[in-house]
Amino acid sequence: MQSNIETAKNLGLTAEEFEKIVEILGRSPNFTELSIYSVMWSEHCSYKNSILQLKTLPRSGKRLLVGAGEENAGLVDIGDGLGCAFKIESHNHPSAIEPYQGAATGVGGIHRDIFTMGARPIAALNSLRFGIPDNPRMRRLVAGVVKGIGDYGNCFGVPTVGGEVYFMPCYNHDILVNAMSAGIVKEGETVSATAGGPGNPVFIVGSSTGKDGIHGATFASADLSEDSHEDLPAVQVGDPFQEKLLLEASLEAIRTGAIVGMQDMGAAGITCSTSEMSAKAGCGMRIDLDKVPTRQAHMKDWEILLSESQERMLIVCEPGQEAEIQAVFEKWDLPCEQIGETTAGGRLEYFYEGEKVADVPAETLVLGGGAPVYVREQKKPAYMEEIARFDLGGIAEPADYKAAAEKLWHSPNLASKQWVTQQYDSMVRTGTMTTNRPSDAAVVYVKGTSKALALTTDCNSAYVYADPRKGGMIAVAEAARNIVCAGGEPVAITNCLNFGNPYNPEVYYQFAEAIRGMGDACRRFETPVTGGNVSFYNQYTHKGKVIPVYPTPTIGMLGILDDYERMMTLDFKSEGDRIYLIGTSRDDLGSSEYLRNILNVEYSNCPHFDLEEEYAIQQVIKKAIAGNWLQSAHDVSDGGIFAALLESAMPRGLGFEVKSNPAVRKDAWLFGEAQSRVIVTVRTEQAEAFERFLKDENAPFESLGIVTGLKLIFDGSDWGNVSGWKRTYDTVLGNIMQ
């Protein structure tokens, strides 16, 4: 018994969890059974430290076709007999160890979550966080991750349409790689991740099983260290061409009507898919592991069970229709082997070479079943006392505003990400509407309809670090603002919650408060949470010091344009158009890119945000777009009004002449990131009527100036041609990477 306890601890289980397993089984578990519980009760699979917090989020809405967490991905009704399946997940630890395969398999895994539901993926996005790229290691990680995402997505044939890239010191050791996918499915063609009743044949389809990714779920549920490179076998290896075959074969198999249920083999491989599909149906399975096609000879039973080899599915089909399923996969030249059948009684019985190697109740393994659930201690982080002492009055205004702006414009967080995006194919499938028409959100045409999807990923982790609750609200609100500025209606979110170790009370405080803020904002915007991913243990121990990342609750939001011709772009259109700021400027530099990276102020307040103010501004923008008032719309976010104006000016090479608000500090007006503000342009002949419209809506606004030819004029000062600023914008990141 003592040796078993030590084995359990080595596999990541606590002594209490080991005792619970003994109680469940009525005996001491063998090594294979311990391995099963270790991966299924890992944080990555069981959400044991997060599920009670997640349950406080709004998870129902009039457009949702499945409840949050019920299937592999969220599913939203978009009308015309169509649904959109979408989800975001992390692949952080693997990408930090092996950036190319870590990122590539993250992309492959999230697409499989979409097409296992019967939906064809039509768009991919990502949210990437790196450390400061001033050393060869970080540049290698950036290059590897970007190439992995690009190679997999391009070969698989799904456009990468949007995302975000940040560079901050807190990610110097633990990078974050969050991948999102969205797909379209016709009504009546969805598939559930269920095993049905007893007596159904169980098939494994797709790639053969190898030794890559073994204990990958456990690996993702622990801190990285200086020795983590030795865990390289826990990183999976992907094959996008095999996944393309698997996509087409799976969708064709669904159309046969022979499939009862289907699930991707992601974290924990066969173990996870057999246990979750069985538990959902209230049945069991008998699985013959020696029937699983393997890439390597003499694999052990637990290696086959725990392998996370990519491009594999578990399919349960109707009895008597096995030949139909096999014919489809044979046509696509993919392995399709029956490895067992469903049984009554709810037990998972795994056999290898005629011997039963594991016998466990399915329900005891899964989230919402017998997996442990914990509530961890919370403590307000000590650094927040430092933030509370921040005084803007102690910050001197720059002596030379143009020089300050030029320095800010060299920040890789504000610079063009074309060095990244040019490695992605955004035009494959010909549905992307924002490749050459810049907008605050990616817009993808839904073929055969008048509709389009608006998609975005958003989170400024510096805001969440400064105030976890308010920062969580801002992440949702900015995503909604981007959807609205693109002409869409926000309808639902998926989230990827990236935090440090939940056993650290300060980290758990950040997590709980961010969840609270996200929930508040989602309820106000009526954007329920359809599912997502929690990624804890994003921290690094170096010379005895624990270095966690900033709390990063990434929001992936789906919006709908019922008429794709109503899409709004951010670029200035014509000389002479009037420029307005809708919203209120404030003496606020809190957590801004200017304050953090130019003045090197680490501790400052979260920027101003009021949920009701934000909601009201978004309603005004919707009405302005619906009323055909606007030529362009662009939200004010990173870099403040200065960055937003330049981003709108550069696409067509148009300049502007604007005046700052004399009631506000000029540095705060230019570079501050107070929320709930949008810059819009209107035709000169409509300006007077537009201002009456804003007054009728009780919307705060400022008339900033006009769109001009080439020059940028701030308060009468000539800041040069827009072409020079664009040159800097286009080359900063490429120069760093070279």
Active site residues: 44, 91
How far CA 404 is from CA of 664, 707, 731, in Å, comes to 18, 23, 19
Q: Cβ atoms within 10 A of the Cβ of 309, count?
A: 25
Name the residue with tokens 């993926």.
Answer: 121
For the residues of 331-381, what is the DSSP string, one character each? HTT--EEEEEEEESSSEEEEEETTEEEEEEEGGGGSTTTTS----------
Q: CA 375 to CA 502: how far, in whole Å?
A: 9
> How far are the Cα atoms of 181, 406, 516, 706 from residue 720, in angstroms, in the given order?
41, 11, 45, 16
Contacts of 325 (CB under 8 A, 6+ apart): 203, 205, 253, 256, 258, 259, 315, 317, 336
Compute the distance between CA of residue 411 and CA of residue 728 in angstroms, rounded to an integer: 10
Three-state SS at 484? helix
Straight-line distance from the first to the last Cα atom of the chain, in angstroms, rounded to the nearest whole number: 56
CA neighbor of 439 nearest in space, from 161, 125, 166: 161
Cα–Cα dist 710/706, whole Å: 12
E strands, 111-223, in order:
120-130, 160-167, 176-186, 201-206
- How far apart, in whole angstroms, are the C-alpha atoms of residue 559 and residue 617? 17
Is the torsion defined by CA of 163, 168, 170, 174 positive or negative?
positive
495, 553 contact by CB (below 8 A): yes
Q: Do 695 and 375 meet the contact criterion of CB atoms below 8 Å apart?
A: no
How far apart (Å, rounded) are the C-alpha atoms in residues 397 and 730? 28
Per DSSP, 171 falls in state G
| Parallel/antiparallel/unpaired status of strands 284-288 and 201-206 | unpaired
Distance CA 509, CA 499 (A): 11
Q: Are 105 and 91 in contact (CB under 8 A)?
A: yes
Asked whether the beta carbons of 312 and 250 are under 8 A apart, the reply is: no
Residue 702's H or E segment, with its range, is strand 701-708
Residues 6+ apart with CB under 8 A from 26: none
* Tokens describing residue 711: 């020059």
DSSP state of 596: I
Residue type at 321 in one-letter notation = Q
Rounded Cα distance between 714 and 717, Å, is 5
**How far is it, in rounded angstroms, from Cα 514 to Cα 445?**
33
Q: How far apart are CA 476 and CA 464, in angstroms?
A: 12
* Planar angle of CA 522, 453, 726, nearest 5 degrees: 95
DSSP codes of every residue in 219-247: HTTS-B-TTGGGGGGGS----HHHHHHHH
Whose tokens are 């549920």? That residue is: 221
- Identify the residue whose tokens are 């996005």: 125
- The residues near 76 (Cβ < 8 Å, ≥ 6 apart) are 63, 64, 65, 83, 84, 85, 86, 491, 492, 530, 558
